Structure 1
Amino acid sequence: MEDEIKSEFEKSGFSVNEEEVLKKCLTFCINYKLKPSDLVSSWEVHYLNRQLSGSEVQNAHMDGFLLHLQNEQRDAVIKEESYPHVYSSTDIDMILSDEHEDIREDIIGTPTDRQERLRAEPPASTPTTNGTRLSLGNQKILSTDIMTPFEQRTNKFVVQVAIKKSPETDIDERDHELSNHEDDVIKRVQSKERCYLKVLSSGPERGCRFMYDRIEEKFNSLENRIRRHAAALVASGLEKPVDPTIASEETLFSVGMVCCDAEGRLNENSILLQGSAEQSGGQNVRLDLQKLTQFSFFPGQVVGIEGHNPSGHCLIASKVVDSIPLSVSSDLELPPSKKQAVDQEFQPNAPSTTSEELSLIVAAGPFTTTDNLLFQPLIELLAYASRKQPQLVMLLGPFVDSEHPDIKRGAIDRSFDDIFHVEILRRLQDYTEYMGSASRVILVPSIRDASHDFVFPQPAFDIDSSELQHQITCLANPGLFDANKVKIGCCTLDVLKHLSSEEISRIPTDGTRDRMGRLATHVLKQRRHDVPLDLSLSPESLQITSVPDILILPSDLAPFVKILSVGEISGAEEQVKCISVNPGRLAKGVGGGTFVELNYHGNAERANASVIRI
């Protein structure tokens, strides 16, 4: 058959000189049940689409050709008109028994006659414990023996990090228990109390115009930051700040923004303090940090500095106040009409006595591996969620990652919106239909989403279907909301990585060296996201008016779940506790990544969470 394949290539004007290429082509013919002539025809299409040069078929082309064949096979399934299957008692008996190991259709989803289901499940659908392959919807899937690197994992779910781990969070024990009931449709979904949501921060309107901010707006924003920070420190009992550039032997207190006096990374010899236009005309002064036993600075940080400036050119710091006094009781105020609309949309018939308890799963994109666009990690995550039945599944972008190799080189034949609606929204719709009305999903976009606006702050996804809006809620980026009275803040920008590359710090020998926790605390202390942004769009959405119970900051850095202590409450001895979560990325390269499962019971000290590797 290899000779026949080689002959067909030569008839079409191509040459095959490598044995490895012929072996791979033979494998393709066997796996996809293709004749040599059909294989060569597919190669010609791939050759023209990729605009390859030369007549020799090289081994370097085989990976791209394999992906082309997979797409062709999937498109062939899509063209087949599917009809709803009416399930009978015979079907139920067959599924509940373990006699039929060749089942290829799922019984989870409710059969419908939606004709808009344009796409089928990819070949790598979620495998169950008894070896059968099931999808989360009533869609046909393609049977194939091709295994992607993601499918070749030894362990499906492994706890990487856990805080306050309880027996119920042991993945191995739970998977063992769940495997006994994997095919029990009746026991699979239990009745749960619906999670009630209330959006607390308003972002830009959908379809807004952006990149129209002016220099005046940027200046006013920076000036207002310093003035608000100074006013809050004065209100907490500190003295009124003065101009830091004035020469004086007496101790003074000043508030300003940390700057760098040169190109490159901030260091102890290049750090400046820039005062407000009101206090110092916007002038800056060099900071001397030798007397400080500990500090943590980054460009753009607003701080209060106590020290003296004998020469007028250098402020010798003796004390740093790097956080705004906290207020855990003040919610973000929305206009009455806007707030009422939010309550009616997201909290129909919500009881006022909802307890502060919440179970949620948090995952951040990318949701597919770099070698394909099959979204296998997302399928595995939803299968895990369908077994664990959390009240809330929170997914943070990117969903259609602009950094994906196929998207960057333009090797796809579908629009970004089509990929998002078919691969993401329809799978989520299948999940919510299966789980029932108690389950809810939150989507937060990312500036890396190819199907969304490249701007920050970022409007929410525009989903028209009322069915999706009932259980799938789209938030702006950044977002702040209440879930069962648990306040949750999130931002999909990699703030932690940005701060990590810019921060300088000094830690005493007996001090804690929790770098990840310190970076997350900066966001709360500054009560604002300091990143490139469009200040003409909803600047109020960038303000963090109070410390949330849970702060979600997805990052490329190591995933973690930490309990942060952020200052003290006025009039109380206890510190404000906040759970900071970096779920990591659900997909990393050609393999799986991590996500977080969290159970909140009234306060941070009683919560338990796990970082789970998929």
Structure 2
Amino acid sequence: MSSNHPNTSQQLCTLFGEGITKDPSLLNESISICNSYHLSPNDLFYKWEAFAINHLPKGQTYNLHNARELRKLINSQYQSSLATPLKPSNTYATTTFNPSPGLGHILGIKTPKTPISNTGSNGVNSVNPFSTPSRSTYRPNSLSAPDQDVSIANLDTPSGLSLDPRSAVSFSSALSFQPLETLNSHLPLSGSGAQSLIDPPRSTSSSSSKAKQPSRVALAVGTDPKAWNYRYMFEKKGERSQVLDDRIDHFAALIRDVYNLQGTSADEIEFGDPSMPSQEPIYVVGRICPNMLPRNSANAAKIKAEKTSSAMTVKLEDGSEQSKESLAIDDPSGLPKLAETGVMLESSRMMGSGNRIPIFLQKGCKVRYGPNDPGSSPTVGLFPGMIVCMKGMNGGGERFGVEEILMPPPLPHAVTPREELLSNQFNPSKLDGKPINLLTASGPFTEDSNLDFTPWHRLMDEIERGGLPSTSLDSSSTSETLASGRRGMPDVVLLLGPFLPASHPELAMSDLFPSEIFRKHISARLQGLLERSPATTVILIPSTNDIVSAHVAFPQPYLEKNDEALGLPKRVRCLPNPCLFYINEVVIAASTADVLKDLRSEELIMRIENPPANAGNQATASKDAMSRLCRHVLGQRSFYPLFPSPPSSLLPLDISHSHLLSLPSVSPDILFLPSSLKHFIRVVDSTVVINPGRTVQSDSSNLSTNASPSSLASIQISAMSKSDLERGGGSEMEGVEEGLAHKVYERARVEILEL
């Protein structure tokens, strides 16, 4: 019996007394047990009475600890009842399956296993409408083979309630999949995608027919797997400092070439030391960092004493004064944050002996985001770890006055030869002029209250029925979509971790190992998807919060596909975190680290006094916080440009191997940055940046004012104009000599769908 009745809480309080009414956690746990195992409050009370008599000392009360122990017992009985596969029987066609054992089972009383049926007026037995449907009514791999066994691995949901996907009324029909945000809504939905085998033939040739269905797209990864198999927790201070220095020197050479910094005699301008006094403007390159205090007991005592004072400044042991804002003395982590009076520029050992110097923005300071940008922005965003080039001078030797900031521009976008584009997009054995269908979902995939993975199973149910529902049908949609009501089987399913968070509150109380939970819910459903749709490519990218990953440092290698405990299908592709890969010609990059949230918490917006009068595009773009944060990632050419990572992120950043976080050679056409912040779609410097949101919003994220509903991203990338490709491209298709630009931001319809 389902316990979703509105009076469930009242019934539990009546049965269990005042103890449960005074403990909200105990009440929530009791409701969770009823919902997970389809129990009524009366059933739960009877199970508690039997459990207390048989397993607890006399006088024990119903508390949170005992409720969790009772859950373990109910779960073990539930799993044992599912262990034996059910065979359909001609004699008992109406036999039902009860997922929760009754009171007699707990007390050791054997009850006859008779079918529950109703006899109608015509004398024909009918199924009891109040009974649980039999698992034998749904067979995901072969809907037309009644002589095959049905095992628990083939069920759609862990509760055992599954329905035929071909029926008119389905379990997931309540899922709306309404679009929350859309890019290029004028592009029509085609409903095309990988060809699926919804009802494969029963003959032995079915396996060969599956093998004859190649994928419509090609996956290419440009990374060396050996570079990711490093040992973490073996970093040395010398290695860390050398990596940080090398990054500054690398950007110095990059900025000199990009901005064409030449001297009066056509010689290269030497970058100066910002800590040395100078009477003429010089160019310097360094890393932004907060003002770090000398770590001594005297300063610590001063800060502690001034926490409750009304003064705006704190006088340190050496006699200097610092503002409370610059010291961030209210920060519980104890680490200072950037403030306008406490921004430092750290140079490399080669260019400035590693010295740090305070900086300030002069009146009318220019901010240039590229060599062709004249510099027009009333504000500038800075964060710890950001590498910039500054022009100014240090008149008194105490601080560096900035009159111009040169930001590193993003990498160029990839181009592809015209012949290759024609082959990828119009070859009859590949796309044949139809769009690429891409689906992206980010974990976690189960709620904090249970390990049932209900949202994950619902999502997979919809995909296996022919793709996600197309709820945004309009006049621009094609007849194929209008007829099926589906977006088509995806060519690529990109799944971003965490799949099973190590911080999940129910993990410690589970009777299964984490690998068994992953195998039961994730691997089994992926196996069913690939059997149903052999042309679909599945990509898994882990998270440092994944308990099934043996490597927890960031950057993080791929999941071990050969690990038998995980049970991943052979055709699943496991990629590292972060990574950049190609789907045909489209360059896609993804990272599961929440860099957007960390940047937003650490970024300092500095206003420029008397900004230039010609403030234009960059000034307008800087008002959009998400676009500005995405521009930081692309401009710094790193999936995680912050240093150090904020303590609140709990990200185990490995600095010695941070070169694996760099964008290798090109800017991606599509960049996935899943975050607990609100979902969004942005086009930043010709890159489509997508935050697909979370498949399941955690309890902590729901407390945020910017929390968004559970969501995922659906992307349809249309083909280019065939006539333009065949004749060499018109004025709009012109690219460099080596090939043509992809312009995915113009031909991709991106939708954030509510789950």
Contact 1:550 1:580 in 2 (8 A): yes
- Structure 1 residue 486: deviation in Å? 0.9
Alpha-carbon distance in 1 for matches of 2:434, 2:579: 19
Closer, same or farther: CA 557–19 of 1 in aligned 2, 3 Å: closer
Q: Which residue of 2 aligns with 1:245?
A: 275
Q: Which residue of 2 aligns with 1:516?
A: 626
Q: 1:443 aligns with which of 507, 531, 540?
A: 540
Normalising by structure 1, report the TM-score.
0.74
Q: Which residue of 2 aligns with 1:361?
A: 439
- Structure 1 residue 534: deviation in Å? 2.3
Letter of the 1:327 counterpart: P
Letter of the 1:606 counterpart: R
Q: Which residue of 1 aligns with 2:736?
A: none
The answer for unaligned runs of 5 or more in structure 1 is 1-14, 87-98, 135-150, 175-182, 332-348, 566-576
DSSP-derived class of the 2:350 partner:
helix
Q: 1:434 aligns with which of 527, 532, 547?
A: 532
Alpha-carbon distance in 2 for matches of 1:117, 1:131: 24
Letter of the 2:580 counterpart: L
Closer, same or farther: CA 296–37 of 1 in aligned 2, 3 Å: closer
- Structure 1 residue 413: deviation in Å? 1.5
Q: 1:266 aligns with which of 322, 338, 342?
A: 338
Q: Which residue of 1 aligns with 2:236?
A: 214
Q: 2:178 aligns with which of 158, 165, 177?
A: 158
- Structure 1 residue 540: deviation in Å? 3.6
Q: 2:454 aligns with which of 369, 376, 381?
A: 376
- Structure 1 residue 493: deviation in Å? 0.7
| Deviation readout 1:384-438 (Å, 9 max, x if unpaired) | 333321111111111111222212xx211211111112211111111111122x1
| Deviation readout 1:9-47 (Å, 9 max, x if unpaired) | xxxxxx9645979998999896599698755444678x8
Alpha-carbon distance in 2 for matches of 1:36, 1:415: 29
- Structure 1 residue 64: deviation in Å? 4.1
- Structure 1 residue 231: deviation in Å? 0.5
Q: Which residue of 2 aligns with 1:477?
A: 577
Letter of the 1:382 counterpart: M
Alpha-carbon distance in 2 for matches of 1:462, 1:254: 45
Letter of the 1:547 counterpart: S
Closer, same or farther: CA 351–481 of 1 in aligned 2, 3 Å: farther
Answer yes or no: is 1:122 the counterpart of 2:152. Answer: no
Q: Which residue of 2 aligns with 1:326?
A: 411
State, as a whole percentage, how many aligned pairs show the same letter: 27
Contact 1:295 1:320 in 2 (8 A): no
- Structure 1 residue 470: deviation in Å? 4.5
- Structure 1 residue 589: deviation in Å? 4.0
Closer, same or farther: CA 66–166 of 1 in aligned 2, 3 Å: farther
Aligned positions of 1:157-556 closer than 5 A:
157-166=177-186, 168=188, 185=199, 193-202=215-224, 208-236=230-258, 237-238=260-261, 239-262=269-292, 263-291=335-363, 292=365, 293-324=378-409, 326-329=411-414, 358-386=436-464, 387-388=466-467, 389-407=489-507, 410-436=508-534, 438-452=535-549, 453-464=551-562, 468=568, 470-506=570-606, 511-512=620-621, 513-528=623-638, 529-530=640-641, 531=645, 532-537=652-657, 539-540=659-660, 542-556=662-676
Q: Which residue of 2 aligns with 1:337?
A: none
- Structure 1 residue 483: deviation in Å? 0.9
Q: Which residue of 1 aligns with 2:737?
A: none
DSSP-derived class of the 2:351 partner:
helix
DSSP-derived class of the 2:279 partner:
strand
Please identify the structure whose Cα radius of gyration is greater: 2
Contact 1:124 1:374 in 2 (8 A): no
More off after superposition, 458-467 vs 250-259: 458-467
- Structure 1 residue 230: deviation in Å? 0.4
Normalising by structure 2, report the TM-score.
0.61
Contact 1:457 1:533 in 2 (8 A): yes
- Structure 1 residue 283: deviation in Å? 0.5
Q: Which residue of 1 aligns with 2:11?
A: none
Q: Which residue of 1 aligns with 2:101?
A: none
How well do the aligned residues superpose, as a CA RMSD in angstroms?
A: 4.4
Answer yes or no: is 1:56 the counterpart of 2:56. Answer: no
Closer, same or farther: CA 279–62 of 1 in aligned 2, 3 Å: same
Q: Which residue of 2 aligns with 1:594?
A: 711
Alpha-carbon distance in 1 for matches of 2:75, 2:406: 58
The answer for unaligned runs of 5 or more in structure 2 is 1-14, 22-26, 91-125, 192-196, 202-209, 262-268, 293-334, 366-377, 417-426, 468-488, 646-651, 703-708, 719-741
Letter of the 1:305 counterpart: M
Q: 2:679 aligns with which of 559, 583, 588?
A: 559
- Structure 1 residue 538: deviation in Å? 7.6
Contact 1:307 1:317 in 2 (8 A): yes
Alpha-carbon distance in 1 for matches of 2:431, 2:189: 27
Closer, same or farther: CA 517–40 of 1 in aligned 2, 3 Å: same
Q: Which residue of 1 aligns with 2:749?
A: 608
Q: Matched residue pairs, number?
A: 524
| Deviation readout 1:186-209 (Å, 9 max, x if unpaired) | 89x998853211112335667753
Contact 1:361 1:385 in 2 (8 A): no
Contact 2:187 2:749 in 1 (8 A): no
Closer, same or farther: CA 548–124 of 1 in aligned 2, 3 Å: farther
DSSP-derived class of the 2:509 partner:
coil
Letter of the 1:378 counterpart: W
- Structure 1 residue 314: deviation in Å? 1.3
DSSP-derived class of the 1:361 partner:
strand
Alpha-carbon distance in 1 for matches of 2:161, 2:228: 33
